[in-house]
Structure 1
């Protein structure tokens, strides 16, 4: 799917649309994405700051999407684990950027060349309008090169684990 179309689909996807998440950028080569979370009455917590689940969900699919699209159909890419550290209360519009470097892709290709799986962590800061860190999010991806039989059948039989 072309990145521009995927950006529009994600912006209309109910979990993002109704929580105030907006994908403001998704590069055509899938190497960079930027996401914003706008403050809405329905995504505020009891103390009128961003709900922590919304802060985490705004970052949820992007590392997987970027890596999956950049590596191509010969690879299985899954989210394996995630963690979030809340640094300060989030108010107003907050944003997160994802930059996938070629050396990371090379590292993944090399680590999976023999069919081995690799687990790799990716870090993202959620920042506010003053560029202060509101939350630090870590996502772990499972990456494995598909076996020949997986590629020929189009089947993705393995799940991470």
Structure 2
């Protein structure tokens, strides 16, 4: 089992899953380097909000937020969020990603990551029928009041029944 998964299990016992998710990301070196911070996690983990402040650590040559910072701030959240929303009978992996820059990131940016209970139920039902599926989640980096989109990231996530995945890997 991976280090962060063990830490998450331990932290969840004492802090709850939402607080462990938030502080685990915010304190982990891999996420801190993105310069983003998780600012909100719902108790049911269906909604996560991040803030990517513009600062000297992420400014590029022309003074706007480096595109790599935009992508890396968004990259891990949908997959890790889904892993925690599903049970341990599932394998969840990032499969691919696309990023679309809409305008220069010249101010603090925000992103919301959302799953609904109905979406989770539909994922479980599809995987039960198909054994493995691909899910596309789209996230937008916006200004605080969500009136301007600066960047859009489409993540393709692979989800499979764990037993099916193990058997498939043997081939």
The one of 115, 122, 126 equivalent to 1:100 is 115
Aligned position for 1:140: 156
Tell me the secondary structure at the aligned position of residue 136 of structure 1. Answer: strand
- Measured after TM superposition, the shift of residue 143 of structure 1 is 0.3
TM-score using structure 1 length: 0.86
Measured in 2, the distance between the counterparts of 1:146 and 1:6 equals 23
1:76–1:146 contact (8 Å) kept in structure 2:
yes
2:109–2:144 contact (8 Å) kept in structure 1:
yes
Is 2:73 the partner of 1:58? yes
Measured in 2, the distance between the counterparts of 1:16 and 1:139 equals 17
What is the correspondence of 1:71-90 to structure 2 with a 5 Å cutoff?
71-90=86-105
- Measured after TM superposition, the shift of residue 3 of structure 1 is 2.1
Structure 1: 5+ residue stretches without partners: 151-155
2:34–2:72 contact (8 Å) kept in structure 1:
no
Q: Which has the higher helix share?
A: 2
* Structure 1 residues 112-141: Cα deviation after superposition (integer angstroms, max 9, x where no partner): 114621001001110023520000110010
- Measured after TM superposition, the shift of residue 81 of structure 1 is 0.6
Measured in 2, the distance between the counterparts of 1:5 and 1:147 equals 28
Q: Which runs of 4+ in 1 moved over 3 A?
A: 156-159
TM-score using structure 2 length: 0.82
Task: Give the count of matched residue pairs.
Answer: 153
1:89–1:134 contact (8 Å) kept in structure 2:
yes
